[in-house]
Structure 1
Amino acid sequence: MPSMEEILGGPIERERGVPGTRPGEGDKVRYVAFQEPHRPSDTFRNVTRAVKPPLPKRGGVVLEGCIVTLADGLRFYALSFHGDLEGWQRQVEEGARMLGLVSACIEADVLHLSDGRSVPLGACTIELD
């Protein structure tokens, strides 16, 4: 039996956008700043485990394949969560604050940073894995 790619005549590619920009996704995605030599996966682990006991009652959080870089060089990775959205939002935002890191969310294609700044996504460099 032929594969779906053979039937369609080429590779199947999933259309990806910037996490947090699709309708209904804003409450499920947060961004956290990181600096080299740290990798997003290292910072992700530290941020999501910083608050003890954990605030979310259910669900989980995953590292997304997206990095947003501001014009000043500050880099953010995306993470998304499901289940207890409010608990995960608080866990991530409080964990970042405890570690001295800036967190952010996206509303109407604008990145709103926890330090009070707002930056249009169009002014940022976006890397999608």
Structure 2
Amino acid sequence: MNKRLIPGETIIEGREVKYISDNGNDNFTNNKNGLFDLITSQFEIAKHGGIISENCRLTLPIGELFHALSYKGDIEGWRKEITLGAKKLNLITGKIIDGNIELSDGRQFSLFACEIEFY
């Protein structure tokens, strides 16, 4: 059995991973009204490359839910597009750094304390 790596835990050249807080509906990729589409349709900044859902839920020890997405190509453009889209929707973003998830609101949690689920 293959054990999947937590998206963003291992650095992959040319690809970046962001985590997006859930809006309470746990509907990230299921339809056109999912968070993935809402976040990625707010702005058109990235000039090339692509963005995908990593099909991974990360639940903080305090119960907050985040979803992973990754992008490649115009890394700076995608990063800005996601950050601005999340901000417009009042969502928090996060990134894995040294075994922790560091959130845009300044909080930080150890990955060991988080629940990870792949779907």
Partner amino acid for 1:28? Answer: E
1:120 and 1:26 map into 2 onto residues whose CA distance is: 25
The structure-2 alpha-carbon separation of the partners of 1:110 and 1:25, relative to structure 1 and needing over 3 Å to count, comes to farther
> Shift of the alpha carbon at 1:15?
3.7
Stretches of structure 1 lacking an aligned partner (at least 5 in a row): 1-12
After superposition, give the CA deviation of every residue in 1:1-43 in whole Å (9 maximum; x if it has no partner). Answer: xxxxxxxxxxxx5441100011336961000011333401100
Root-mean-square deviation (Å): 1.7
* Counterpart for residue 34 of structure 1: 22
Quote the sequence identity (%).
36
**In structure 2, how many angstroms separate the alpha carbons of the residues matched to 1:122 and 1:26?**
26
Q: Give the partner amino acid of 2:39.
A: V
Aligned residue-pair number: 115
CA distance in 2, matches of 1:86, 1:24: 15
Contact 2:94 2:101 in 1 (8 A): yes
Are residues 1:74 and 2:83 paired? no
Which shows bigger deviation, 22-31 or 96-105? 22-31
Query: What is the distance in 2 between the residues matched to 1:94 and 1:29?
Result: 15
TM-score, scaled relative to structure 1: 0.82
Aligned match of 1:111 in 86, 89, 101? 101
1:25 and 1:122 mapped to 2: Cα distance? Answer: 24
TM-score (norm: length of structure 2): 0.88
User: Greater Rg, structure 1 or structure 2?
Assistant: 1
- Structure 1's 66 and 38: CA in aligned 2 closer, same or farther, altered over 3 A? closer
CA 1:71/1:26 → structure 2, altered by over 3 Å: closer, same or farther? farther
**1:95 aligns to what SS in structure 2?**
helix
Assess, with a 3 A threshold, how the Cα gap between structure 1 residues 105 and 25 changes in structure 2: closer, same or farther: farther
